[in-house]
Amino acid sequence: MIAIEERFPRPSVMGVVNVTPDSFSDGGVHLDPAVAIAAARRMHADGAALVDIGGESTRPGSDGVTVDEELRRVVPVLEGLAGEVPVSIDTAKAEVARRALALGAEVVNDVTALRADPALAEVVAGAGAYLCLMHMQGEPRTMQQEPRYDDVASEVTAFLEERLAFAVAQGIPEERICLDPGIGFGKTPEHNFELVRRLDVLLALGRPVVIGFSRKSSLGRAVGDPDAKTGPLSASIAAAVSAYERGASILRVHDVREHVEALAVARALAGT
Ligand code: HH2
């Protein structure tokens, strides 16, 4: 079995392709399957180790979509990419994951960390897929209303430790699992920055860490717009490089080429 840290060595860039009308970062841009396929191919050519395909927005305030609608969005894209580009499927639904894995996806990226669909763990285990478990406080519709923690790094880590044990108990080997503190999912900008600053707390669990700071509103706020809904590329790169230097393995980003270049320099500076 190839461990996830060997399959996607540090640093690996995960390109984001949201096949949705309403994602906060690229909503509507990739709704046409041909456009989404071309974007994913370009990201791979630009150095993405894998491309994360999602058919449901989880932006603050969003409602879910049905299984049929999610399948309608992602299946043509997965069919178009089959075998050509390494793919992760951003879904919390067992049926969507099952179809995606049958069409060649390697990773299931579940922002609910196996809490939403009781059938998902078995699908991942049965397919021998990789899995990303992400932390979220609350649910997308309400998560940004009043996020609260006593100690955000310890609480997020305790949650992910419990979800990791759950996944392993469901038959998913630990070597196939990576963890994500869920930047922006029920967190203030201060919480998000503290999670990266204190990444060592999460890394102590011994699993590769994914960070998705790209374009998120905390970055726009940090550069001076208190009402920002997104963040600029420059700030996204700073956050990704900083997360990498603190030990993150996989950086989930929208602007692949710029992040691949920045991380190549950060890696050379680190001497690895
Ligand atoms: N962020 C988003 C979606 N999925 N998955 C992981 N593992 N980590 C993240 O930080 C993460 C994620 C939200 O960003 P985006 O996909 O750009 O927007 P939307 O949820 O509106 O589609």
Band (133; pLDDT cuts 50, 70, 90)? very high
How do residues 251-263 score in pLDDT, each as one tens digit?
Answer: 999 999 999 999 9
Cis peptide before 208 (omega within 30 of 0): no
The pLDDT score that the predictor gives to residue 173 is 98
163 given a catalytic annotation: no
Backbone angles phi, psi at 100, to 5 degrees: -65, -45
Q: Where are the beta strands (DSSP E) in the chain?
A: 12-18, 50-54, 87-90, 107-110, 130-134, 177-180, 210-211, 250-253
How do residues 2-28 score in pLDDT, each as one tens digit?
Answer: 999 999 999 999 999 999 998 888 778
Atom of ligand 1 nearest to the CA of 184: 10
- Is the pLDDT at 249 greater than 90? The verdict is yes
What DSSP element (H or E) covers 148?
none
Q: Find out whether 216 and 195 touch, Cβ atoms under 8 Å.
A: no
- Is the pLDDT at 272 greater than 90? The verdict is no
Band (161; pLDDT cuts 50, 70, 90)? very high
Cα gap 243→121, rounded to integer Å:
28
Band (61; pLDDT cuts 50, 70, 90)? confident
Could you say which of 198, 216, 246, 267 is catalytic? 216
CATH numbers and ranges of domains, the chain? 4-270 (3.20.20.20)
From the CB of 192, is ligand 1 less than 6 Å away?
no
Average pLDDT over residues 132-155: 94
Cα gap 248→191, rounded to integer Å:
17
The CA–CA distances, whole Å, from 8 to 2, 11, 88, 143, 185 equal 10, 8, 12, 30, 24
Ligand 1 binding pocket mutation candidate from 43, 87, 93, 111 (most atoms within 8 A of CB): 111
- List the one residue out of 105, 115, 165, 107 whose CA is nearest residue 135: 115
